[in-house]
Chain A
Amino acid sequence: MSALLQDRRAVLLLGLLAILALAPLAAGDYMLSILITVLLQAYLGMSWNVMMGFAGQFSLGHALYVGLGAYAGGALFVHYGTPPWIGAFAGMAVSAAAGAVIGTLGFRFKVMGVYFALLTIAFAEFTRVLFDHWGWVGASSGLFLPPAPNNSPDNLWLLRGSTTMFYYVILGMTAGAFWFCRALLMRRIGYYWQAIREDQDAADALGIDVFRNKMIAVLISASMTSLGGMFLAFFNNNLYPESIFSMHRSIELMLGTIIGGIGTLFGPILGAVVLTALGEGLTILGAHIGIDGVKQIAYGICLMLILVLKPGGLWPWLRKLLRLEGDGR
């Protein structure tokens, strides 16, 4: 019976992946760019979920890792022509180092809960002001990536090309992240994290190395997020510290996961779909009635409704509705 359920989940997932893989055949550039937004939101949400959902460490400063990844990939490409996939390693290394500093300080000095969240905000804002004054990365006037010449073929190695290419890149990254998160959760470390999340003292008493396992969660989450930042830089072709490191980015990054379901595997994807559909719909509506801020108000109301009605997120509820109850994820 449980094997059958497992199969149903796998069949559904593979079906979804197949539809997404074939989407560029039917969808135009506008539709594809919306799908890219959904997938990037899902990818970043999954990265945040590793730290918050799996290990229970509340970060409100993930824009820091997005920004470090974006600037490492972008600046190396602009100055030295370094291919983004090499630059991404630099970005991941820098982000992991930043995560290591924040994690070590936070966990060693026992900065917990909301205080830890404030510590992560403080580091992100500190870095934002720093980049605002750093000439090599363009300071506050921004860093611009040279666009590919018109009608040149897609270059996957340099990430210069069409919307369709970017779509497949982010689809691959999101599918990879999903598989990676699933693998993490099924391993020993996944169970350690959940034990720490539920009761850190009890986990400690059981002999779990709390500090080490929390650090691993931070390092993985930071590196994953920074890869998403690199993608964002090459997709948008422009970078401003004001927007990439902003607290609003940290907030939007986690909204999808909260709406979909913190700690679940599929929640970040579901949340990203809901949030982007809502956002795009309202942007179109807002363009007609010409009012700013409608989207953010809707996000706020959405977040509030979720917290009041379904604090666990939409996915656990939907899963029950679809009778997909498996191992509780």
Chain B
Amino acid sequence: MDATFFMNVISAGLLTGLVYGLMALGLSVIFGVMRVVNFAHGDMMVVAMYAAFLLYTKLGIEPVPALPLVAGGLFVVGYLLQRFLINHFLGVTEHIQFLLLLSVAMIITNVVLMVFGPDARNIQLDASFESYSLGPLVLDKVRVIAAFTAGGVAALLWAFFRYTTTGTAIRACADNPVGARVVGLNVEKLYAITFGIGTACVGAAGCLLLLLVDVHPHLSSDYTLLGFIIVILGGLGSLGGALLGGILVGLSEALSGVLIAPSLKSMFSFGLLILILLLRPQGILGKKP
């Protein structure tokens, strides 16, 4: 275990972490605007992974070009879900909302299980076996592609919220829903768009993660929890925080995987979550409520 080996592990963790970050961004956007905790986002992630899997095996479209298709599809799912179901639950007690999304999660996971069966599936691209050498570093080609695409999508999202009218309107809703209504914004529609954007992020992350891991239906609750760990680490509702949290979790998983035991890596993530919840519940980059 020399320095080069650790450098490689760390860089792989960093790159995977960016994809995790994109997944968590979806959760963070939805919470930041509507204060809804999407307990079904791991399940949507698995749906996206299967969609990318089908697009590749049936139509030969590789995950990166398939990304806009899958993200678009999940946008529609998220939009409709918010419009026709979750919107009716915006004012109710937190735990009822939580349970509602839990019921959505149960339905999605088991429909996926019914359709695809419990076996793990993966795809092999030509690029899967190639790598880049950067001095002493050896980086998997697919990991680099996934990380850079994830970074690109996150940058697009940031630009959307910063520079477009719709993005600005959504931020207005997040800051003050009543005020947004007073100035004539269609809050319901903006909420539905936001939920769609959140699920589209998850869709994009799902496509990219399929390049790195095998997919099976029971991954869904793992990814839901992983998403929570990441956003709480970085700060729920903070976009930069989600990316930072993703990178930290990617690093901690990679390092605990080689230093201790791969099966123990989730214990470290949960330990981290407990510590953050207690010591800094608003997250590393979050603002105090």
User: Which A residues form the contact surface with B (CB < 8 A)?
Assistant: 52, 58, 105, 109-111, 113-115, 117-119, 121-123, 125-126, 129-130, 132-133, 140, 247-248, 251, 258, 291-294, 296-297, 299-301, 303-304, 307-308, 311
Contact = CB atoms under 8 A, between A and B. Distances in A.
A140 B264 CA distance: 12
Given A122-B274, A125-B266, A300 B113 contact: no
Contacts of A110: 281
A304 B281 contact: no
Interface of B: 37, 85, 88-89, 92, 94-96, 98-100, 102-107, 109-111, 113-114, 117-118, 221, 225, 228, 232, 261, 263-264, 266-267, 270-271, 273-274, 277-279, 281
B96 A115 contact: no
B104 A300 contact: yes
Say what secondary structure dominates the interface of chain B.
helix
B195 to A, nearest CB: 17
Contact of B95 (A58, A123, A133): A58
Given A109-B277, A117-B95, 12 more contacts: A111-B278, A114-B37, A115-B277, A117-B98, A123-B270, A126-B270, A126-B274, A129-B266, A292-B117, A293-B113, A296-B113, A301-B107
Nearest to B271: A126
A115 B225 CA distance: 12
A275 to B, nearest CB: 13
B106 A296 contact: yes
Contacts of B110: 292-294, 296-297, 300
Given A297-B111, A303-B102, A303-B106, A129 B278 contact: no
15 contacts: A111-B281, A122-B270, A123-B270, A125-B266, A126-B271, A129-B264, A251-B102, A292-B117, A293-B111, A293-B113, A296-B109, A297-B106, A300-B103, A303-B106, A307-B103
A303 B99 CA distance: 8
A303 to B, nearest CB: 4
Q: List the 7 closest pairs (A to B, CB-CB), nearest first.
A: A300-B106, A293-B110, A300-B107, A303-B103, A304-B103, A129-B267, A296-B110
Nearest to A125: B270
A126 B273 CA distance: 10
A122 B273 contact: yes
Nearest to B266: A129
A308 B107 CA distance: 15
